[in-house]
Amino acid sequence: MTDYANLFRLDGKHVLVIGSGSGIGRESALALAAHGARVTCADRDLPAAEQTVAQGNGSQLVAYELDVLDDDAITRAVDELGDVDVLVFTAATNVRKRILDYTSEDFDRVVALNLRASFQLVRAFGKQMAERGSGSIIGFSSIRGTTVEPGQSVYAATKAGLVQLLRTAAAELGPSGVRVNAIAPGVVETPLTAQIKANQAWYDAYAQKGALGRWAGPEELAGAVVYLASDAASFVTGSVLAVDGGWTAVDGRFDPPN
């Protein structure tokens, strides 16, 4: 008999959350720990990761400094952290410019964090999971992997590329018992979207686009992370879970009369 009462429990699991110093990463780490996981809160900003630990159950969370742009640091993390049952990575950046204004340096900066670092993480921790015969990898795409607007070219390209990277990883690692999925958030109030929030017209326009007519708080993404990390999603792999308030489901431009 399946123990449905504990289907989302993560007791005994070691989860590594990268980007846990703020925003979605922080809330995900706290939610995973609340469901019984032992969580390593990794971030390039160690004091920020330590603040996340301070907000949760200290016995379940530990801070770890990790710069995912450093390949050697990722290799060290694999050795130092031991078995990782679940990998969650949320770190991303964006340079909002039109294509004709983009520089090669801008391009390299966005691709390096959003796509190349993700590739390196999947390779490093996916290998460990495949050898052990189990694991769950959760990466963060975006609505911009599906719908675009001016000024989002390279960011959108990396988020679409990440989906295909994770789908391929799901196909390759599935026979070894490793599940790989993406979450695609809509508009979420995080440090990455502070520029939009500072412009009331821009902020309101985004809020009105989705079916719910508002932005999400980062805590509203944590449930999706817990789900994909847990046995509740034991037959879910290669999927993109939209947590976007209906952004990609509705047109949003005009409410026609009856």
Percent of the chain at pLDDT exceeding 90: 91
**Domains identified in the chain, total number:** 1
Confidence of residue 258 (pLDDT cuts 50, 70, 90): confident
- Domain assignment present for residue 208? The answer is yes
Distances (CA, A) of 232 to 135, 206, 210, 220, 228: 14, 32, 27, 18, 7
Among 175, 170, 179, 164, which residue's Cα sits nearest to residue 232?
179
Q: Convert the pLDDT of each residue in 66-90 to its tens digit.
A: 999 999 999 999 999 999 999 999 9
Considering 4, 64, 102, 155, which one is annotated as catalytic? 155
pLDDT at 3 over 90: yes
Q: Which residues of 227-254 are buried (b: 16+ CB within 10 A; e: fewer)?
A: bbbbeebeeebbbbbbbbbebbeeebee
Confidence of residue 190 (pLDDT cuts 50, 70, 90): confident
CATH number at residue 149: 3.40.50.720
pLDDT at 59 over 90: no
**Inter-helix orientation angle 23-34/46-55, to 10°:** 40
Percent of the chain at pLDDT exceeding 70: 100
- Domain assignment present for residue 234? The answer is yes
User: Across residues 97-111, what is the average pLDDT?
Assistant: 98
- Domain assignment present for residue 2? The answer is no
Task: Give the chain's mean pLDDT.
Answer: 96
- Domain assignment present for residue 26? The answer is yes
- Domain assignment present for residue 258? The answer is no
pLDDT at 182 over 90: yes
Domain extent for 87: 7-243
- Domain assignment present for residue 248? The answer is no
- Which tokens sit at 113? 């964090």
**What's the N-to-C CA distance of the chain in angstroms?**
50
- Please give the helix or strand (H or E) that residue 111 lies within, else none: helix 104-111
User: Across residues 221-242, what is the average pLDDT?
Assistant: 98
- Domain assignment present for residue 256? The answer is no
Q: Tell me what percent of the chain is helix, strand and coil, each rounded to the nearest 5.
A: 50, 15, 35
pTM score: 0.96
Q: Which residue is listed with tokens 């809160």?
A: 41
User: What pLDDT sits at residue 1?
Assistant: 85
- Domain assignment present for residue 13? The answer is yes
Please say if 4 is a catalytic residue. no
